[in-house]
């Protein structure tokens, strides 16, 4: 979806519809493959619990993508997504940082940060959600100095150059991944127990 200029000269960016379609197709395939694997290894109870969990994640992601937008007005920058809109006064924006982050798994993803004069993040726009030309148009409309590494970097490398720009969790993805994997296993076990108890004859 192309950027929209409103009557008050606001710039509105939304993810292209093709991005949402690609995400949904990928999610359906991953859910089907994951459910089949769980069925073979743990039976239908485990597969059912896994399918419910995966579909829940897909639903959250779909709602987030459908609601995502970036609105630049003469007075503020508004980023919407799954939660409450994040509103920041445009006058606080001092610099734009563009960086391509190397993910632990998968390809590198472009990110756009708007920082204030003290280096604090006002907004972050994930490039995987928006077309590159839309991000270019946003940067042009902001009219701020632009900086950033000239090559793909890891989260730790970017955080060393711009302290505070990324969270601790993003700088330590493997620790976070291990914790999430443990939580998923516990949820699956809980689901199996609940399904088993519910299907026991009395």
| pLDDT of amino acid 88 | 96
What mean pLDDT comes out for the span 138-164? Answer: 94
Which has the higher per-residue pLDDT, 45 or 134? Answer: 134
Among residues of the chain, what percentage have pLDDT more than 90?
Answer: 39
Phi/psi at 120 (5° precision): -85, 145
| pLDDT of amino acid 23 | 67
Phi/psi at 53 (5° precision): -65, -45
What value does the mean pLDDT of the chain take? 79
pLDDT tens digits, 2-29? 555 444 578 999 888 766 666 667 667 7
Please tell me the distance from the alpha carbon of residue 24 to that of residue 66, in angstroms, as a whole number. 11
Segment among 52-56, 100-104, 146-150 with least mean pLDDT:
52-56
Q: Which position has the token pair 């060393």?
A: 160
What token pair was written down for 201? Answer: 């004859």
> Considering the entire predicted model, what is its pTM?
0.68
| pLDDT of amino acid 10 | 87
Please tell me the distance from the alpha carbon of residue 95 to that of residue 114, in angstroms, as a whole number. 6
Whether 132 and 110 have beta carbons less than 8 Å apart is answered as yes
pLDDT tens digits, 166-191? 987 787 665 545 556 666 666 666 66
Which bin fits 9, alpha (ψ -120 to 50), beta or left (φ > 0)? left
Q: Flag whether pLDDT at 140 surpasses 90.
A: yes
What token pair was written down for 185? Answer: 């296993």
Q: Flag whether pLDDT at 197 surpasses 70.
A: no
Which has the higher per-residue pLDDT, 100 or 18? Answer: 100
DSSP one-letter code for 146: E
């Amino acid at each position: 979806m192309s950027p929209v200029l409103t009557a008050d000269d606001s710039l509105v960016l939304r993810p292209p519809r093709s991005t949402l379609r690609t995400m949904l197709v990928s999610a359906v395939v991953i859910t089907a493959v994951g459910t089949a694997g769980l069925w073979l290894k743990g039976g239908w109870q485990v597969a059912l619990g896994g399918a419910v969990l995966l579909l829940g994640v897909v639903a959250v992601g779909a709602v987030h993508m459908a609601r995502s937008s970036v609105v630049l007005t003469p007075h503020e920058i508004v980023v919407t997504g799954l939660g409450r809109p994040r509103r920041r006064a445009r006058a606080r924006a001092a610099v734009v940082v563009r960086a391509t982050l190397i993910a632990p798994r998968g390809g590198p993803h472009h990110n756009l940060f708007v920082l204030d004069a003290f280096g604090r993040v006002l907004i972050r726009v994930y490039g995987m959600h928006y077309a590159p030309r839309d991000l270019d148009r946003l940067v042009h409309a902001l009219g701020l100095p632009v900086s950033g590494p000239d090559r793909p970097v890891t989260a730790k490398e970017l955080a060393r150059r711009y302290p505070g720009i990324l969270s601790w969790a993003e700088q330590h993805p493997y620790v976070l991944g291990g914790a999430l994997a443990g939580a998923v296993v516990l949820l699956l076990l809980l689901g199996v127990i609940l399904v088993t108890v519910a299907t026991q004859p009395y």
